[in-house]
Structures are given as C-alpha cells and as structure tokens.
Amino acid sequence: MNALVHAPHLFPVLDNELQVGGMPLSRLAERVGGTPFYAYDRRLIAERVAQLRAALPDAVHLHYAIKANPMPAVVQFMAGQVDGFDLASGGEMKIALDSPMPAHRISFAGPGKSAAELRQAAAAGVVVNLESEGEMERLAQAAQSLGLRARAAVRVNPDFELKSSGMKMGGGPKPFGVDAERVPAMLARMKALPLDFQGFHLFSGSQNLKAESLMEAQRNTFALARRLAADAPGPVRLLNLGGGFGIPYFPGEQRLDLRAVGDHLAGLLPQARKDFPEAEFVLELGRFLVGEAGVYVTRVVDRKESRGQVYVVSDGGMNHNLSATGNLGQVIRKNYPVLVGNRVAPETGAAAAVVNVVGPLCTPLDLLGDKVELGHAREGDLIAVLQSGAYGFTASPTAFLGHPPALEVLV
C-alpha cells in the first residue's frame, strides 16, 4: 500500500478511512462544512507532549514556538500543555496574551522588532530576547518612558552550528541574535539600563532528525552560556537551549531518537545546575509539537489524462500549503505523505496506478503529489496531506490566484 512508502504518520486508518479527531475523514469534512481545510488533532498534540515529558528531565521545561501554528484555538489548547510560549511578532503576542499563559512565561524573539512591539512587550511583562545592541537601547527607552523595568534576555548567535539541520539559524554571520564575542560588551552596557537580565537564548537550527547533532549543540550551548554568564549583570534565570527537533516528512526519514536526546540532557544537568543554580532550562519547539498532528484536506474536482500521465486535480494546493508543494525553502522537491483519505487503499486490492496530484493554480509549482500511487482517486474523493500541522496555513500565499482561504479546525 502506498502509505508504506511514505514517512511514518500518526493518524489511524479504520475501515480503509483516515480517522482525524476520532472521526472518519469524510464525516469530518461534513462537520467542517467544506474543503479545503486543515484539521489539527488535540489527542496527537497531547501525546507528543507526553512523550517529550517522559523522555526529558523534569527540570527541562517546554515552550511552544507559536509561529509553527498560531491558530488561536491551538494556542489556547497549548497553554494547558506546555510551560511557556515563544513569539516572533506583535501579532503572535496578541494571540499569546489572550491565552491563559502568564506573560512572564512568554518570550519574544525575532529580528527587527518595532518600537511599538517593544513597548507592548515591556508593558505586558513579556521577556524580550534581544537580537542586537540597538534593540537593547530601544527596549530600554520603551521601559524608561513607561516607568518600569523590562525583562530582557540576550539571543546569542553562537560560535558553533547545529549540524544537519533543515535550516541553520546560528553560527557564522546571521541576522539572528548577537554574535557570542560581542555579548560581554552588551552585558556591560545592560547594567546601566532599566532592564532586568533574564538570561540567554540560543537557537541554532530547525528540522533536525539527528540526535547526535542536537546533543552536540546542547553541549556547546551549556558551555557557551557558562562562558557568557561570567559577564552577566545578574544570575541567569532563563536558559533557552533552542530546539530544532525535526519530524519525518519524506520517504526513508527516521524519527528523532528522543530517548537519546533526553538521556544526554539528563547527563548534562548536574553540571548545569551548578553553573546556573537559579536557571530554568527551556526547550522551544514548534513543528515537533504540532506538525504531525495536522492534516490538510482537499477534494478531487477533476481527473484528466495528458500524454500518458494522469492528473488528479484538487481544490487546494500551494495557495494553502506551500510547504507541502516543496516551495518553502526545499532544495529538492519531495512528496509529503499524501493519501486518498476516505479510501486509503484501492477497493480492488490491486496496487494503485501512479498519478500526479495537483492543486487548482495555474502554475506547475502547484504539485501536491509527484507520481504517487493514488490512481484510485476519483472526483469527490478527499486528498489528505499529512505532516501539515506546522508552517501550513500561515506560511502560504493565500492571496495568490484569489481562491478562498482554507478552513481550520481543532478537533
């Protein structure tokens, strides 16, 4: 069956139909009231959090990086699952502050924060992860004019890389964070400003499936933070170790060995507690928490042949799920796991023929399945694109070609 050549996925199949939110997909589509839609499954998110808690030492807290999936209902739900949130914009700050998560458990990273965003963060009591010396001065001005002290941590651009990451965000010249060698001077200046030093934020990369690479980065992170803490204006209260935990998207990809990462962290903790006796240790994860809990669902509107190839045309594609079409930073396009969600295997028992699943946009980039074994798909069927819970809805060019946006449900 086609599903076997895909990356592993978490949604159960019952009576040949994908079950999402404990319901057959065709029934869920009726409940939602239309296609295309995204559905995010609470049970799968909660299970993922539970797996993390079981694998990681208790002293390591979990933050959710909202940019992975900022749907307000998801963020509300996550407030009851994790220990804190990480934001990357004022828009995300609004969603986070509407949730039950207390402001002091929320941190705000990202280059180019506006004066208004810094002022809001200072007023809210959110921890600002400073991305530059200039930003530190602007945050201090905001605090000054509000007559309060703002919570500030320094985002450090480390002098090491997170190897084998889908996206490298630290090491070498980067727009993110302050180069490690510049941090001592910055900390010296911070002493004179109305800022309460919280600690350090080191985020070195994303979408990593190699436990060894993550372990090495975590070792390096503790060592670098130890060096930097010598110049800090106060004790380190918050040490954000970054994250970067990846999920399998493509055939042949293996799940991250969470146990190995957790055991290794547990081994680093006794020394870390001595080095940072007042610190809370944090991992900030986005896609690892929500990516596998989401499915993007389109309906087949046409099936056509062109010179020996079959095209299954569905009512949504890159306009809603850019990443699944291979257009969000991938160097080589590969298929996300795609299924006929309402009839996973062909009823005949025969292997399905090879077809291409495309979206409705007039561009060859709008390709959800390149030569996939979904030959049994016919008009009216539901195409399910798995691993779509992160960087889907809000990471896509929804206005491109003017189709309506996808619906979104948390089930």
Number of residues this chain uses to bind ligand PLP (CB under 6 A)? 16
Q: Which stretch binds ligand PLP (CB under 6 A): 16-24, 62-70, 255-263, 368-376?
A: 62-70
Residue 130, C-beta contacts closer than 8 angstroms, at least 6 positions apart: 136, 139, 152, 153, 154, 155, 178, 186
CA atoms 210, 212, 218, 221: torsion sign: negative
* 3-state secondary structure at position 389: coil
String of DSSP letters for 318-337: TTT-TGGGT-SS-SS--PPP
Nearer to ligand PLP, 243 or 326 (CB): 243
Please report which residue ranges of 231-359 form alpha helices under DSSP H. Answer: 258-275, 287-290
Residue nearest ligand PLP, CB atom distance: 286
Nearer to ligand PLP, 35 or 396 (CB): 396
**Shortest distance, position 288 Cβ to ligand PLP, whole Å:** 6
**Shortest distance, position 363 Cβ to ligand PLP, whole Å:** 27
Taking CB under 6 A as the criterion, the residue among 28, 44, 68, 377 binding ligand PLP is: 68
**Shortest distance, position 155 Cβ to ligand PLP, whole Å:** 8
Taking CB under 6 A as the criterion, the residue among 56, 71, 87, 109 binding ligand PLP is: 109
Q: Which stretch binds ligand PLP (CB under 6 A): 18-26, 280-288, 337-345, 380-388?
A: 280-288
**Shortest distance, position 352 Cβ to ligand PLP, whole Å:** 33
**Shortest distance, position 246 Cβ to ligand PLP, whole Å:** 7
Contact positions with ligand PLP (CB under 6 A) in 190-219 = 203, 206-207
Residue 33, C-beta contacts closer than 8 angstroms, at least 6 positions apart: 407
* Residue 59 CA to its chain's centroid (Å): 22
Q: How far apart are CA 35 and CA 323, in angstroms?
A: 19
Do 172 and 225 touch, CB atoms closer than 8 A?
A: no
Q: Is 67 in the site for ligand PLP (CB under 6 A)?
A: yes
**Shortest distance, position 167 Cβ to ligand PLP, whole Å:** 7
φ/ψ of residue 84, rounded to 5: -170, 170
Taking the CB of residue 224, how many other CB atoms lie within 10 A of it? 18
Binding stretches for ligand PLP (CB under 6 A):
65, 67-68, 86, 88, 109, 203, 206-207, 243, 284-288, 390
